[in-house]
Amino acid sequence: MGYRLAVAACFGAILCAAVSGQDAKKRASPEERVITGTVVDQAGMPVNGADIGLQVWRYDRETRLPNGDFASVAQTAADGTFRLVVPEGLDPSLQQGTVWAIAEGQVPQSSTSTLKRHVSHPVKLKLVPAVETIVRVLDIDQRPAPGVRVRVLSQRGRYTIGFPFPPPWREGLTGTTNDRGDAWIEHVLPDAIDGILISRDGMADVRLDPNFFLNRRPAKSGPTFTVILPSTGSILGQFTAEDAGVRLRRKFRVQTRSEEPVLGLTIWGEKEVESDDVGHFRIDGIAAGRVTVPPFLPPQEPWRAMVPLRVAVMPSETLTLRIPLVRGVSVRGQLRKGDTKEGAPDNALTLIYGHSAEDNSSMLEKFELTTDRDGFFTAIVPPGAIQLRLQGSPEGYCNVDWWKPNRKGSYGVGMEVPAGVTSFELAPVDFDRTRELKGRLVDRDGAPLHDWTVYGYPDIPGREPDSVMNSFPGVQSDQDGTFAGTHPMSYPPTAWKVSYREWTTPFEFEDRKFPAQAISQDPLVLRVDVRKADLKDARKNP
C-alpha cells in the first residue's frame, strides 16, 4: 500500500491580563498598538465571550509555525468584537502575529500575518462547530487501555496545513480514556486532526504525526479513531566521556520510530529525560523501534554526542545504550559564485550531521547556519558524514550539486569529516549561473490552467529520468496559465511535469501529477492532456 507523506471559559494562566468585553470598543491611545477584530459563528452571527489570544513569533528556519504562549489575550464583547493590545518592545514590521479564537463547542480558529498587517487591518475569525470525537486506545493485545491521556496537538485549517494549538489551550483539547479505552475530545473536527500525543503514567509518550492522519481517516461509525499501542521495551543508558571536564548531567529527548501494529503506519515513541551526575538514565515503556536522540548539546560547546547507528528497542527487552560525548571537529567551508569564485555572503544553509547524514534518514541532527561577508561558515560536528543543504543562493545563481555525477548526499552536498583532527577545511561549494524562463500552461483544448505547479527536468546521461531532480523549480501558473522561473545554465530543462492539488473536501486533497508536452518552444507552451472543466475542486463549492 502506498502511504502519503508532506468548556469553555478558562484555558489556563496567560502572560498578560485579559481585556474584558466591556473594553472591546475602546479607542487605542496614541501610544498603544492594538489589533481589533470580530468573531462570528458559522451562520455569521457574533460570538460573545470567545477567548482571544495573540502569539507573536518570527518566521525563520528554526520557527516555521507559532508554538508559544500568548503575548496578549482578550474576550469578545456581545457584538463579537475584540481588542488586543500589542505589548511594548515588539516591532510589528519584523514579527509574525497569529490571532486565535475559541468558544464553547467550537473549533479554535486562527489568522496569521505580519504583526504590522494585523494592527492595520481588522481581523475576522469565523468559528466552526466541533464534532464529537472519540479516540479509542487499545493495548498491544487489543484490550481497552484505561487511564490514558489523549491530547490533540494540531489541526489543519480549511485547504491548508496544520497549526499546533497554543499551549494555554491544550488542556481543553485533552481527554482521558475510560474502562472501554475511549477518550472524548472537545473543540476538534475529526477530518482536521493531524497530531495526537498519547501519555501513560510511568511510560514514554506515543505521538501520531500528520503522515499518520493522511492515511488513517475518521471512522464512519463507532469510535472516531482507534489506536493500537505498539509493543514496548526499555533503555538503560549512559553518557561517557574520556575528558574529565565534560558535564554528564544533561536534559535531552529520546525518540523511537515504531509502527502501528495493524496498518504499519509510522508512530513515534518519545520521552524527555535527564541523566544523573555520572551520565546514567533509564526509560521504561518506550515504543519498540529504532532509536534517535535529537541534538541537545549547545552549538557553541566543543562536545558532540556520538549516538550509535542503527540501534533499536526490541519488544519486552532492555537496550543498553552508551553515548560517548567526544570533542567535535571545528569545520569551515565556503559558498561562492562558480564563475568569479567570489564568496556568497548572508547565505543560509543547513549542516546535517550524525545519524541523519550517515543514513540519509532524516534532517533531525542539524545546525542552521549563515555565511559571513566572505561566504564562510563554521560549525563543530562529530567526525563522519555531513551534508550541506543550501537554503538559498546569490541572485542569478543556484546550487547544481543535485545533478553532478557521484554525488554523496540525499539532502545536500555530501562530505566526510575525518577523525583524529581538531579542525578541518571543507571543499568550497560553487553556485552556477541561472537563466530566466517563461511559459504558458494549457489543457488539451488550449484553455489556460490556473494554480498548477510546473516542474522542468534536465537530461542527465546515465541517470533514469524518474531519479533526476527538477532543475526548473515548482512554480505556480497564474490566471492566464503563465508561469516563470529560473534554471541553471548548465542543466536546462528538457522534460516537463505538472501537478494539480485537487481538494475533495476542505481537509483532504490529492496531488494529481501529469506529464506536459512542449507544443511550442518560442514562446514556450506546455500542454496537459486534461480538460479544465473536468477538474474537481471543493473550494468552488464550499
The CATH number covering residue 519 comes to 2.60.40.1120
Burial status of residue 140 (CB atoms within 10 A of its CB: 0-12, 13-18, 19 or more):
middle
Does 407 score more than 90 pLDDT?
A: no
Give the domain CATH number at 271. Answer: 2.60.40.10
Is residue 256 within 8 Å of 291, Cβ to Cβ? yes
Which residue range(s) make up the domain with 64? 21-128
Which three cell numbers, joined as nine digits, stand for 119? 494592527
**Which of 97, 128, 159 lies at the terminal end of a domain, its last residue?**
128
Reported as a single tens digit per residue, the pLDDT across 232-245 is: 999 999 999 988 88
Higher pLDDT pick, 280 / 222: 280
Q: List Cα–Cα distances, 201 to 198, 274, 305, 469, in angstroms.
A: 10, 17, 29, 46
Q: Do the bridges between strand 51-57 and strand 96-102 make them parallel or antiparallel, or are there none, so unpaired? A: antiparallel
Is residue 296 within 8 Å of 252, Cβ to Cβ? yes
Q: Do the bridges between strand 133-138 and strand 182-185 make them parallel or antiparallel, or are there none, so unpaired? A: antiparallel
Could you tell me if 383 and 468 lie in one domain?
no
The CB density around residue 117, as the number of other CB atoms within 10 Å, is 16
Global confidence as pTM: 0.76
Binned at pLDDT 50, 70 and 90, residue 170 comes out as confident
Q: For position 344, what pLDDT does the model report?
A: 96
Does 207 score more than 70 pLDDT?
A: yes
Higher pLDDT pick, 84 / 18: 84
DSSP secondary structure, 517-538, as one string: EEEEETTEEEE-SS-GGG---G
Could you tell me if 124 and 26 lie in one domain?
yes
DSSP secondary structure, 16-73, as one string: SPPBPGGGTTPPPPTT--EEEEEEE-TTS-B-TT-EEEEEEE--SSS-SS--S--SEE
Asked if the structure places residue 13 within a domain, the reply is: no
**Which of 373, 406, 427 lies at the terminal end of a domain, its last residue?**
427
Asked if the structure places residue 5 within a domain, the reply is: no
The CB density around residue 212, as the number of other CB atoms within 10 Å, is 22
Asked if the structure places residue 8 within a domain, the reply is: no
Asked if the structure places residue 523 within a domain, the reply is: yes
Reported as a single tens digit per residue, the pLDDT across 252-284 is: 999 999 998 888 899 999 999 999 999 999 999
**Span of 156-165, 219-228, 249-258 with lowest mean pLDDT:** 156-165
Could you tell me if 389 and 344 lie in one domain?
yes
Asked if the structure places residue 79 within a domain, the reply is: yes
Asked if the structure places residue 188 within a domain, the reply is: yes
Domain count, the chain: 5
Average pLDDT of span 214-224: 90
Q: For position 65, what pLDDT does the model report?
A: 57
**Which of 370, 399, 427 lies at the terminal end of a domain, its last residue?**
427
Binned at pLDDT 50, 70 and 90, residue 448 comes out as very high
Average pLDDT of span 158-185: 86
Range with the largest mean pLDDT of 162-166, 251-255, 501-505:
251-255
Three-state secondary structure call for residue 321: strand
